[in-house]
Structure 1
Amino acid sequence: MIPVQGFEHQAVAVLGLGRSGLSAAHALRAGGATPVGWDDNPRARERALDEGIEIRDLTRAGAFDDVTCLVVSPGIPHLYPGPNPVVAAAWAAGVPVDNDIGLFFRSFAAGFDAYDSPPRVIAVTGSNGKSTTAALIHHLLHEAGRDSELAGNIGRGVLDIEMPGEGGAVVLELSSYQTDLARALTPDIAVFTNLTPDHLDRHGGMGGYFAAKRRLFAEGGPDRAIIGVDEIEGQYLANQIAMGPGDDRLIRVSAARKLVGPGWQVYARKGFLTEWRKGRQVASIDLRGVAGLPGAHNHQNACAAYAVLRAMGVAPKVIEQGLHSYPGLPHRSQRVAEAGGVAYVNDSKATNVDSALKALLAFERVRWICGGLEKEGGLDGLAPGLGHVVKAYVIGREAAGFAMQLPGVEAEVCTTMAQAVAAAMAEAEPGDVVLLAPAAASFDQYDNFEQRGEDFIACVMAGLRDG
Structure 2
Amino acid sequence: MIPVSGFDDLNVAVLGMGRSGLAAARALRAGGAVPLAWDDGAEGRVRAEAEGIALRDLTRPGAFDDIACLVVSPGIPHLYPAPNPVIRAALEAGVPVDNDIGLFFRSLATDGFADHDTPPRVIAVTGSNGKSTTSALIHHCLQAAGVPAQLAGNIGRGVLDIDPPGDGAVVVLELSSYQTDLARALTPDIAVFTNLSPDHLDRHGGMGGYFAAKRRLFAEGGPDRAVIGVDEAEGLFLAGQMAEAPGDPRVIRVSVARKLAGPGWNVHARKGFLAETRKGKQIGSIDLRGIPGLPGTHNHQNACAAYAALRALNLAPRAIEAGLRSFAGLAHRSQTVATRAGVTFVNDSKATNVDSAAQALRAFPRIRWIAGGLGKEGGIAALAPDLGAVVKAYLIGHSARDFALQLGVIPHEICETLDAAVAAAAAEAEPGDTVLLAPAAASFDQFPDFEKRGEAFIAAVAALDAR
Instruction: Provide the rounded CA distance (Å) in 1 between the counterparts of 2:447 and 2:161.
Output: 28
Aligned partner of 2:9 in structure 1 is: 9
| Separation of aligned partners in 2, 1:363 and 1:392 | 14
Q: 1:85 aligned to 2:85?
A: yes
Deviation per residue, 1:329-355 (Å, 9 max, x gap)? 111100000122111000000000000
1:141–1:428 CA distance, 2 compared to 1 (3 A):
same
Q: Deviations over 1:285-336 (max 9, x none)?
A: 1111110111000100000000011110111111101101101111110000
Which whole-Å deviations, capped at 9, do the CAs of 1:145-180 have from their partners, x for residues lacking one?
100011000011100000222111100000001000
Q: CA deviation at 1:272?
A: 0.7
Secondary structure at 1:65's aligned position in 2? coil
**1:41 Cα offset (Å):** 0.9
Amino acid at match of 2:449: N
Aligned residue for 2:155? 154
Structure 2 counterparts to residues 438-449 of structure 1, below 5 A: 438-449=439-450
SS at match of 1:191: strand
Note the C-alpha offset of 1:114: 1.9
Residue 366 of structure 1 corresponds to 367
Matching residue of 2:219: 218
- Whole-Å separation in 2 of the counterparts to 1:154 and 1:28: 21
Q: Deviations over 1:68-119 (max 9, x none)?
A: 0000000101001111111111111111000000000000001201211011
Where does 1:403-414 land on structure 2 (aligned, <5 Å)?
A: 403-414=404-415
Secondary structure at the residue paired with 1:268? strand
Q: Establish whether residue 334 from structure 1 lines up as the match of residue 298 from structure 2.
A: no
Q: Cα distance, 1:385 vs. partner? A: 1.2
Letter in 2 for 1:33: A
Question: What's 1:325 paired with?
Answer: 326
Please give the residue correspondences for 1:28-47 in structure 2 after superposition, counting only pairs within 5 Å: 28-47=28-47
Report what 1:67 is aligned to.
Answer: 67
Post-superposition Cα deviations, 1:445-464, rounded to whole Å, max 9, x if no partner, equal 11111111111111111113
Quote the Cα distance in structure 2 between the aligned partners of 1:223 and 1:332: 30
- Counterpart residue type for residue 29 of structure 1: R
Give the letter aligned to residue 71 of structure 2.
V
- Per-residue deviation at 1:372? 0.9
How far 1:46 sits from its partner (Å)?
1.0
Structure 2 Cα separation of the partners of residues 205 and 310 of structure 1: 34
8 Å contact from structure 2 (residues 24, 100) kept in 1: yes
CA-to-aligned-CA distance 1:44-71 (integer Å, 9 cap, x gap): 1111111010000000011111110000
Whether 1:23 and 2:23 are equivalent positions in the alignment is yes
Give the CA deviation at 1:384: 1.9
Measured in 2, the distance between the counterparts of 1:70 and 1:439 equals 35
Secondary structure of 1:276's partner? strand
User: 349-358 or 377-386, which moves further after superposition?
Assistant: 377-386
C-alpha distance in 2 between matches for 1:245 and 1:86: 46
| Equivalent residue number for residue 294 of structure 1 | 295
1:385 and 1:464 mapped to 2: Cα distance? 31
Cα drift, residue 417 of structure 1: 1.0
Paired residues for 1:263-412 under 5 Å: 263-412=264-413
Paired position in structure 2 for 1:450: 451
When normalised by structure 1's length, the TM-score is: 0.99
CA distance in 2, matches of 1:348, 1:130: 15
Shift of 1:465: 3.3
Identity of aligned residues (%): 73
Q: CA RMSD in A?
A: 0.8
DSSP-derived class of the 2:375 partner: coil
Query: Aligned partners of 1:447 and 1:72: how far apart in 2?
Result: 21
For 1:240, give the aligned amino acid: Q
Structure 1 ranges of 4+ moved more than 4 A: none
**Length, aligned pairs only:** 466
Give SS of 2:374's match. Answer: coil
Residue 243 of structure 2 corresponds to: 242
Query: Residue by residue, what CA displacement relative to the aligned partner does 1:158-215 show, whole Å, maximum 9, x if unpaired?
Result: 0000022211110000000100000000000000000000000000000000000000
Give, in whole Å, the separation in 2 of the partners of 1:292 and 1:273: 16
CA distance, structure 1, for counterparts of residue 249 and residue 407 of structure 2: 44
Q: Structure 2: where are the runs of 5+ without partners?
A: none
> Aligned residue for 2:180?
179
**Which amino acid is the alignment partner of residue 92 of structure 1?**
E
